[in-house]
Structure 1
Amino acid sequence: MTAIPRRRAPRAASAGALCALGVTVLTGCGGEDPDAGTNGVGKLPAEQIQSRTRTAAEAADAVRLSGNVVASGRTYRLDMRLKADGASGSVTAEGATFQLLRVGEALFLKADADFWTDADGKGDGSGSGTDAAADKLGDKYVKVPQGDPSYKKFSGFTDMDVLLDGLLTLHGTVATDGRHQQAGVRTIRITGDDGSGGTLDVSLEGTPYPVRLVRAGGAGTLTFSAWGKDFPLAEPDEDETVDYGKQLPTS
């Protein structure tokens, strides 16, 4: 008996043929899709990315901000957790570090004795006079009176809306500058005037929050994290606070 040959199954279409037919083949039609698994903002024009990230930041309940800000020729190192009704964290300027705590309208500043001695510029290390006063203030929370010039200056570091509004700004013509990674987070970068007006990395994962900002004119670099993550705020106990008794230093 003559054997009846089996019919051969049709050959699978080649990747090239699928590409020609407009079918996406990740490995054979130009590599992986850079927007796969992202929030999709990487496909948008730069102006829309900027708008989306500002909207996300404005809607967030809280954020952590860290990095350097240059203002009036002075560099401030910030590490602040911020939300609508207050903030806590540290500020370093010209080698001096102090803690800031704001709960509602109440603003507190905490620093070591050297900070208060240097602020008056009168300490002589003898432990008397200004040095003694500095020792009393050191490592205590000093409540900043709202009428004191320092209140406006220091409270600016604790106001989430003011900080974000002033920082999340790119100058000049906005354009995209490719996909990047910041602290393990995939981002799309937008620039102002090819970078001279600042650069901003926007998260491609989840909500399109700002991730990293390089300010125009070398005015500092900041990173943003813990978006929407609440944190506790409470005024310090009475035994942790002390009255400065005069106008606070503004330097």
Structure 2
Amino acid sequence: MCAGLVAGGTSLTGCSSEDPDAGTNGVGKLTATKIQSKSSSAAEAASAVRLSGTVVSKNHTYSLDMQVKDEGGTGTVTSKGQTFQLLRVGEQLYLKADSEFWTHKKGQGDGKGAQGDEAAAAKLDGKYVKVPEGDPAYEQLSGFTDKKLLLDGMLTLHGELAKGDRGSTGSVPSIKITGDDGAGGTLTVSLDGKPYPLRLDRGGDAGTLKLTDWGKDFKVAEPDKTELVDYGKQLPTS
């Protein structure tokens, strides 16, 4: 009836309610399961993304600020008060940190040993150190630079999915989906443009991540030889 009145040149205020999905990408109309599926597909298809925030794993808290894409990744990780930079170009991983990061067994052993550790560490200060693929550190650290691995591991919600509140993330309209009412995590999905994940609150207080710069390219390149140290098959150990 309202449509007929408008078509006939007459409009009545209040004939139609405001559509919350007007001007959006429409995923807000979908079920929580379909929203998660659409969001995962958009994330997988994106050429690049930046992840920043905290991740708690095995009782360790990691602070991340990483840019990742299929060809590699770069950024910083902080753990146990130590900050280091990671760079992956193809399959090759590099780690850069200050001398304190490389100093082993601080305060232990005799004076000569401590001085030797400090001298060796000083040579690595601010240098990119090549991480051999066979070194245990490679498996532990390369995941922070792997787009697929990061997203697959981070964007999974656990338990029964449900739609949460609509709102905005910065200036972007968004909608939340939850696993087990938030106990299994909460994912905030963009309602503008492609349904990219914008924020993840991991279940069990396991950290919060912001996901930005979707599709924004960045450069990954091999370090200059003057900045590089290669120990061969194994990183220096204590």
Same fold (TM over 0.5): yes
**Normalising to structure 2: TM-score of the pair?**
0.89
Segments of structure 2 that go 5 or more residues without pairing to the other structure are: 1-7
Q: What corresponds to 1:206 in structure 2? A: 193
Pick one of 180, 188, 206 that aligns with 2:175.
188
Change (3 A) 1:128 1:37: same
Query: What is the identity, as a one-letter code, of the residue corresponding to 2:92?
Result: A
**Aligned residue pair count:** 227
Pick one of 34, 39, 45 that aligns with 1:48.
34
Report the CA distance between 1:34 and its aligned residue.
1.9
The farther-off stretch of 143-152 and 178-187 is 178-187
1:34 to 2:32 alignment: no
Query: What is the identity, as a one-letter code, of the residue corresponding to 2:105?
Result: G
Q: What corresponds to 1:243 in structure 2? A: 230
Segments of structure 1 that go 5 or more residues without pairing to the other structure are: 1-9
Q: Percent identity?
A: 62
Query: What is the identity, as a one-letter code, of the residue corresponding to 2:229?
Result: V
Q: What corresponds to 1:4 in structure 2? A: none
1:121 to 2:105 alignment: yes
Report the CA distance between 1:183 and its aligned residue.
2.1
| Structure with greater Cα Rg | 1
Pick one of 130, 135, 143 that aligns with 2:122.
135
1:156 to 2:143 alignment: yes
Instruction: State the Cα deviation string for residues 159-181 of structure 1 (Å, max 9, x = none).
Output: 11011011111111101012021
1:69 to 2:58 alignment: no
Contact 2:52-2:66 at 8 Å conserved across structures: yes
- 2:235 counterpart SS class: coil
Inter-partner Cα distance in structure 1 for 2:83 and 2:57: 17
Inter-partner Cα distance in structure 1 for 2:89 and 2:107: 31
After superposition, residues 71-110 of structure 1 pair within 5 angstroms as 71-110=57-96
**Normalising to structure 1: TM-score of the pair?**
0.85
Contact 1:123-1:131 at 8 Å conserved across structures: no
Contact 1:176-1:189 at 8 Å conserved across structures: yes
Query: What is the identity, as a one-letter code, of the residue corresponding to 1:43?
Result: K
Change (3 A) 1:36 1:121: same
